[in-house]
Amino acid sequence: MNFSTTEFLFIFLPVGVALFYVAPRQLRLSVIVVISLFFYGMSGIMALALLVSTIVFACMAAYVVKRFSNLWVLLFSVSVPLGLLFMFKYLSFSLDVIGAGPEVRGYLGFVLQYVLPAGISFYTFQIVSYLIDVRDGVMEREQNPIKLAAFISFFPQLIAGPILRFEQISFQLDRLTRESKLRPDLKRAIKYISYGLAYKIFFADFLRSMHDRHDMVTSGALDTLFAFVSYSLIIFFDFWAYSLMAIGLGKIFCIELPRNFYEPYKSLSPKEFWRKWHVTLSYWLRDYLYLRLGGRDAYARNILIIFLACGVWHGAGWNFFVWGLY
């Protein structure tokens, strides 16, 4: 379900908000989980089953990781959600790389038949960071499974981020169940949602309709230049619009989500660009990959590794691999 559809704006959202504010404060997190799972379930039963299974696993894995505090236990725990991400997002591409034949693909058909579950990269990274932080003692293990499920499945950020850290949202979720009367910032919420809708409809979708008319092979030089530039703007306005709407929707439920873009196309260097584009991903890669590989002690190697990871994170294909490496 897309944020810009009439079904979402005029049916799902009003019903979800009404249920949230009518419910007793002790049940607000449960309402968030239920409406978030319903929202995600609209993309398919298999995707919903995978999300629910991953949430259940995260609850159990956090207990084991905290109990034993062993590196190998942590590696096994994070390998499960990362393994699921690999199966659904990268398995087909990997089989192409190794030249797997129809027989091998037949054995793996039960996975290959499914469309990539929406948002799996985002909630996988959130679970991995949560497990690492619990093991490192950055935070205590969350003993309320409903609260943890709300963190992972909160629908405004579920499909396209931002990538949350549990410590960013934990106290906000506690406040929802503690305060009897909530005071959402509806004025700013409507502002963010309206701007997001405008960017999505009048910029991203409009540019896409023009971009799709061009044939890169037969078009002239100016048309080809327009196709390149418009593609860059489409990616930005589409993602930025979603992020703005996510922030606005979060405010309706009294949840502050982090900003994910800071005018990246005004950057004067690649380093500055990645501090302004998809900020939560950049800082996730810095904190959970770059610094743990040694940071500046092996700068060139580590930069190559994290940007290869960044490229492959965005999609399964040689184009993403080459783009990340470049």
* Residues annotated catalytic, as ranges: 314
Q: Which amino acid is at 15?
A: V
CA distance 298 to 312: 21
3-state secondary structure of 15: helix
Residue 199 CA from chain centroid, whole number: 20
Q: Is the peptide bond before 162 cis (omega within 30 degrees of 0)?
A: yes
From the CA atom positions of the chain, what is the Rg in Å? 21
The DSSP symbol for 268 reads S
Instruction: Give Cα 76 distance to the centre of its chain.
Output: 22
The three-class DSSP label of residue 99 is: coil
Burial of 208 (0-12, 13-18, 19+ CB in 10 A): middle
**Of 74, 28, 64, whose CA–CA distance to 141 is shortest?**
64
Task: Give 295's Cβ-side CA count (13 Å radius).
Answer: 6
